[in-house]
Amino acid sequence: MVALLRPDEGSIVKTHKTRSVTIKRSFRSLAVKYALLLLACAVVMYPLFWMITMAFKPFDEWTTGSGLTWLPQNATLGNFEYLFYGQTEGLVVTLDRTIGGPLWASLVTSTCGTIIAVVAGTLSSYAVVRFNILPSLALSVLQLRLFPPLAVMIPVMVMWAFIGGVDTWWGLSLIYGIVTLPFAFWLMKTFFDEVPIEIEEAARVAGSSYWRVFYRITLPIVKPGLATCVLFVFILNWSDYLLALLLTQKEWVTLPVYMNTLNTALGEMYGMKAALGFIAAIPPIFLGLLIQKHLVRGLTFGALKQ
């Protein structure tokens, strides 16, 4: 006969204690992670919250003399009215330039610069990946981002003055496209590297031309990555300050440069600058909402290897 052995009761108790300790440790580590995430979110969101609340405060609430408050005590749209009309109730100073011109200049130059960079970067990266045309092009394009901006701006200003591109929409758009081209090139190259070449070869066997394969097969596959590239390049162009400062004078001043001019005899116009920042944040957010269905896929494209 085989004797039935009962488990040791002491070992069972020890196992339960070990499990309870493990659960407590995992709960503590999870709590610490969430606490750090909340702290990071608070640090990131605090300037945005302060800007939004400042944009709706009247003049006497965003001056240091009366004491700053977290929320506007008498919310107003006077700061936005001052930007669009050049004057508002309660202020005796007026603006020489309203926000309309700089807003239009930023939209035109950022959009055109994004189109130039994304189109050129997409086509050139596909040529390098699939046809091995100019293998050294990848490093050559990357060198454009290695030079400090100030190191190349003096010759660029001379060239742009020679061709008449200073203070023009096409001159600023062209330099935006050139500066952000390396970013678009390398970002799209990583997406094209993840597309199996067998898919394109099957289409070629079926009689499709190279252009048809690229336009009807490859490009739809990398559409999420293309949407991500468009958003990032647009944000880079939209937030540029140095290039617009050096290559514009009066006609095509962009929003970042315009914000620096919001100074009057009363001092820094913090409420107007906050309102301008609020307005400037709308186009990138709107573009992100338009492509949000592709954005998550584009940010994780190529993260998993098959």
* The pLDDT value given to residue 2: 46
Domains, the chain: 112-252 (1.10.3720.10)
* The pLDDT value given to residue 120: 93
For residues 298 and 226, the answer to whether their CB atoms sit within 8 Å is yes
* The pLDDT value given to residue 283: 92
* The pLDDT value given to residue 106: 95
Counting as low any pLDDT under 50, the low residues of the chain are 1-5, 303-306
pLDDT in tens, 233-260: 999 999 999 899 999 988 899 999 998 8
Query: Whole-prediction pTM value?
Result: 0.82
* The pLDDT value given to residue 299: 57
